[in-house]
Amino acid sequence: LDFMDHYFDLLTYLDNRKQRLEQFKRQLTESKLPEEKVDQEWSIYNGRERAYLRKRRTRMRMSHFQIVKQVGQGGYGQVFLAKKKDTSELCALKRMNKKLLMRMGEIQHILTERDILARTDSPWLVNLLYAFQDMDNVYLAMEFVPGGDFRTLLNASGVLRHECVRFYFSEMCAAVFSLHNFGYIHRDLKPENFLIDASGHIKLTDFGLSRGTLSPQIMESLRQKLERLKNAPLTLKSHNDRFNTYRSMRKELRAFTLVGSPDYMAPEVLVSREQGYDLTVDYWSLGCILFECLTGYPPFTANSTDDVWLNVYHWSKVLERPVYVGQDEEFNLEDCAWDLITKLIANHEDRYKIPEQIISHSFLEPYIKFTALRAPEGPKPPLIPKLTSSIDTSYFDDFNDPTDMERYKEVHQRQTDLEKSGSELAGVDTCRNLRSAFVGFTFKHNQAIPDHLPTLV
């Protein structure tokens, strides 16, 4: 695949260079310039082509970026708002430690994310600008989406009104459908994976699980856990109990979530060892997010991860429609909303199978025209981020604020523990394996090398 990428990129460059040459010759012929001016233009053209070639060959480095501010923290590294020094491009620069990725079996997930970001071109998906590496780290420079993630919006709002949910859920579906059209299943959808851009629209990100599955070791561990838990006593809690439990845990949950988030994971991802699963596992996750938007908590939330797994396994007993009375009666789900939830959170054979079933559902169709989403005449976002500048990071955690940092204490501790345990991965064989694992990782977006020449004056 890396060889295919390399030769496709090389052939694209050669084809574009040929087109630029033909364009230049055509412009020279049409301009009827005097001979001495023609020689001058040829000299400029050749100099420009040499500059393009040097730019293609330039090895990307962290020093080519100016770090503005940290905006994210994960188990394997950090995310920064950064500016590329020579082009002034703003990006979200994700830096990940190679040894930690190797230690945790995450290399394939990072390669998957890089491949998907490089191959897809959709307004619904976060775009990749650059990918590069050095001896210790790999880097993904992606477009900066300044409105924060949908989890932040949910935490601030609690329960969303149906008209707001229709907009956001429709755009989430459009983003997921776009990913499916490229031939990928996300497998790890959760509110944190949906970002809000400067105009208030949704973009999907975090594609680490979008080809294949969790690593075999992690999958086997999770399956063993499920096997151990599935016969444990099931405690059914009321709507109020689950709502209050989730609200009390929300800050801790916000800081860091394991891949394959149990709150939103379809049961067949773990149960179907031989049978596998299809893109409708993403529909299940969308149903869980829809439920959370309308109720304020995920449908299978619990005090512990083990209890969440248990709730997901016994989902048909746990999933219930919340009923509000008195002053909270306005929060009751519309019948069509509950019907859509039960068409998405369902056994595989009963679950919706194609986008048209979701698009035409009565919860959405009378209100949302999917073809008009993101169009000027389409539905307007309920919230447009209030940004003071292009480098406004107010919708992200402040990594200089001790209160915000308290939420990342476990993340930092986990990273420290991994670094200590990973210190043994320092041998020659490991270094060689790390180099070979990321062969072909480098990427530069097309705009970095122009396809066409500026018009001759």
* Annotation marks residue 188 as catalytic: yes
Q: What is the pLDDT of residues 263-299, one digit of tens each?
A: 998 988 767 555 568 899 999 999 999 999 999 999 9
Residue 350 scores a pLDDT above 90: yes
Residue 440: pLDDT band with limits 50, 70, 90: confident
Residue 194: its H or E element: strand 194-196
Nearest residue to 190 (alpha-carbon basis) of 117, 98, 253: 253
Can you name the residues that pair with 65 across neighbouring β-strands?
84
Residue 208 has pLDDT above 80, yes or no: no
Q: CA 62 from chain center: how many Å?
A: 22
The pLDDT of 352-380, averaged and rounded, is 95
The rounded percent of the chain whose pLDDT value lies above 70 is 77
Cβ-Cβ contacts under 8 Å for 222 (sequence gap 6 or more): 214, 260, 270, 309
pTM of the model: 0.78
- Residue ranges of the binding site: 94
Instruction: Report pLDDT digits (tens) over 216-249.
Output: 555 566 666 666 666 666 666 666 666 666 655 5
Average pLDDT in the chain: 83
For residue 447, the SS3 value is helix
| Fold designation for 62-146+403-441 | Phosphorylase Kinase; domain 1 (3.30.200)
- pLDDT at residue 72 tops 80: yes
Average pLDDT over residues 44-53: 86
The pLDDT, as a whole number, for residue 201 is: 98
The one catalytic residue in 188, 197, 282, 307 is 188
Lowest-confidence range among 45-49, 356-360, 436-440?
A: 436-440
As a CATH number, domain 150-386 is: 1.10.510.10
Name the more confident of 95 and 269. Answer: 95
CA atoms of 35 and 32, how far apart (whole Å): 9
Tens-place pLDDT, residues 161-173: 999 999 999 999 9
CA distance 383 to 199: 9
Which of the two residues, 30 and 357, has the higher pLDDT score? 357
| Binding site, annotated residues for ATP | 94
| Domain residue extents for the chain | 2-60, 62-146+403-441, 150-386
